[in-house]
Amino acid sequence: MIRPAGTIETGLARATGTIRAREDAVLSAKATGQIRRVRVQVGDRVKTGAVLADMDSTNAQIGLQNARAMERLAVARLAEAEREVTRGKMLFEGQGMPQSAWDQVQTGREIAAAQLDQARAAVRQAEQAVQDASITAPFGGIVTAKFRNAGDTVTLMPVSPIVALTDVEHLEIRLTVPEALEPAISVGQTVAGTTTPGGRHFQAKVRVKSAIVDPVSRTVEVLADVMAAEGLRPGTLVTTDFGHFGDGGGVFLPATAVRTDGKASWVFVVTNGKAERRDVVVQAVHPGTVVVKQGLAPDADVVVDPGALAAGDAIVALAN
């Protein structure tokens, strides 16, 4: 028999997860059109803002020229409207223009000003269309896929991917941590990780701990930033060690001590030399280890492997 442990030592408070890039994107064109040139190949390393592909921008360039011409026309119309207002004001003040005509002159100036604003917005839209013809890297990274080639026609709906980009310099690990281990984790904590396979050791800093427990798996999602990503790759499986767990109040037992019939769980404790059943509520925290959430005192003497033991059976403690 044993007494429950108050902590789980390093090596037991573990969770498994996957390394992934903090930034990973599949890039496509912002409008339907034909690809003029794809500038990169799979494996190329690019910087933020680098041009990855060029779309045919002929129509966009024509649209920009037309928008600028309309802007100049709107400028001329506003200038003419301003002159009309100047002349009309003199006539109106000299009682040479009726109120209705003066109102019409002022309205003409307001319409011309609105038309200029509209023309300038059209220019900005056309400039953006020209700019969008170049597909650029939103962040630095490595090109991990190339889906299209020069001459291919791509569509906006449905979206046609052109290249995929992954930032391999800034990695994170996504962990699904058993609910019972959650108290061992805090934002900003540095944890130790090991890749599987490979056995490469690294450290990561916890950035996010979900406030929600998955109701099915009873796990909490944790994201931790890898502190030195060199040599690590997205997709690699890892085991993360959270060190000591449950200091000051945890009640931990070997899973072999717990019996269940599918409806209830219980353990046998030794009371006055006999086995006494204690109903408990437990939760697995690691293969072979459970935490007792309810029903057992920390100083109870628990039978490690009760086998066919029944309540009331005599218990003889073996000498150590």
How far is 108 from 101, CA to CA, in rounded Å? 11
195 contact partners, CB below 8 Å, separation of at least 6: 19, 202, 232, 236, 237, 238
Domains parsed from the chain with CATH numbers:
1-22+170-320 (2.40.30.170), 24-55+133-166 (2.40.50.100), 58-131 (1.10.287)
pLDDT confidence of residue 86: 93
How far is 223 from 204, CA to CA, in rounded Å? 9
* 24 token code pair: 């990973």
Cis omega (within 30 of 0) on the bond before 98?
A: no
How far is 30 from 157, CA to CA, in rounded Å? 10
How far is 179 from 221, CA to CA, in rounded Å? 10
What does DSSP say about strands 201-213 and 219-226: parallel, antiparallel, or unpaired?
Answer: antiparallel
Per-residue pLDDT of the chain (320 residues; tens, 9 = 90+): 566 665 555 445 678 899 999 999 999 999 999 999 999 999 999 999 999 999 999 999 999 999 999 999 999 999 999 999 999 999 988 888 999 999 999 999 999 999 999 999 999 999 999 999 999 999 999 999 999 999 999 998 899 999 999 998 899 999 988 877 777 788 898 888 899 888 888 999 999 999 898 888 888 899 999 998 788 889 999 988 876 555 545 677 888 888 988 788 888 888 888 888 989 888 776 667 777 888 888 888 888 888 888 888 887 765 44
- Calculated CA dihedral for residues 151, 157, 163, 165, nearest 10 degrees: 160
